[in-house]
Amino acid sequence: MANSEFQLRVYCYLDRTQPQYAAFVGTVTQGDLMVEGMASLYLEMAPGNEVFRMVDVAVKATESRPGAQLVEREFGMFEIHSHSQQAVLQAGEMVLQRLGLQETDRIKPHVASVQLITNVDPYQAQLLNRFRRGSMLVAGETLLVLEVAPAAYINIAANEAEKKANIKLIHVASVGRFGRMWMCGTESEMVAAKAAAVAAIENIEGRSA
């Protein structure tokens, strides 16, 4: 391990990225572009500068490619992806070996807030549409807003929700202390999306923060 203060905050594996989720990531990534169907792995850690060393380990170990590598005020985060699930899993295992950790040494995520807003007002829809990078929210639809910690786990919540429900992905924010996603559709579809997203977070094993 890098030092006694090191924290593996997130180890988040997506087995198969969904069409809208992958398309959204393509609008915000500064690295290699992800496409639908790829496997993806997000890692978040502290101190943040450890990211640079771990990205080097991951991309040298396999054919996986980095889509994100960033350090913000508190934490560092990176994402790698490949058409080969085995390549992504192997890269993650190489990083864990270098750190002297196991997957379950990550922080167990929790849902900080979840909201379903039915029959969205036209004015609120316009406000939300001003910052979104995905689909537009239309007045009268049902809006699902989910907040989780640590932040990068929001990616698996969004991807799993899209697997289980007919949704429109509005925006995902996965950097910082909390991760947030906004998606919309019919009320019944958003109820299904909510259940899938919350289950994805609750089923991840890890240590207490």
Instruction: Specify the number of domains making up the chain.
Output: 2
Q: Which amino acid is at 56?
A: D
Q: Residue 209 — pLDDT band, cuts 50, 70, 90?
A: confident
Residues 195, 134: Cα–Cα separation, whole Å: 21
Contact in structure between 61 and 91 (CB atoms under 8 Å)? yes
Coil, strand, or helix at residue 120? coil
143 domain residue, yes or no: yes
The pLDDT tens digits of the residues spanning 58-67 come to 999 899 999 9
162 domain residue, yes or no: yes
Question: Residues 71, 53: one domain?
Answer: yes
Q: Residue 23 — pLDDT band, cuts 50, 70, 90?
A: very high
Q: pLDDT at position 4, please?
A: 62
140 contact partners, CB below 8 Å, separation of at least 6? 119, 120
Quick one: tokens of 93? 């295992």
Q: Residue 3 — pLDDT band, cuts 50, 70, 90?
A: low
The pLDDT tens digits of the residues spanning 83-131 come to 999 999 999 999 999 999 999 999 999 999 999 999 999 999 999 999 9
Question: Residues 130, 40: one domain?
Answer: no
Q: Which of 105, 133, 149 is the last residue of a domain?
A: 105
> In which region does residue 119 sit, left (phi positive, over 0), alpha (psi from -120 to 50) or beta (all else)?
left
Contact in structure between 10 and 107 (CB atoms under 8 Å)? yes
68 domain residue, yes or no: yes
Q: What percentage of the chain has pLDDT greater than the value 70?
A: 98
* pTM summary value: 0.94
Question: Residues 94, 123: one domain?
Answer: no
Residues 102, 152: Cα–Cα separation, whole Å: 18
> Which residue is associated with the tokens 């996986």?
64
CATH number at residue 92: 3.30.70.1710
- Domain with 62, as residue range(s), is 7-105
1 domain residue, yes or no: no
Contact in structure between 104 and 147 (CB atoms under 8 Å)? no
Question: Residues 51, 115: one domain?
Answer: no
The pLDDT tens digits of the residues spanning 68-93 come to 999 988 899 999 999 999 999 999 99
Q: Which of 86, 105, 124 is the last residue of a domain?
A: 105
Q: Which of 73, 105, 137 is the last residue of a domain?
A: 105
209 domain residue, yes or no: no
Report which of residues 3 and 27 the model is more confident about. Answer: 27
Question: Residues 128, 97: one domain?
Answer: no
Strand order in the sheet with 65-71: 7-14, 39-46, 76-82, 65-71
Cis before 150? omega within 30: yes
207 domain residue, yes or no: no
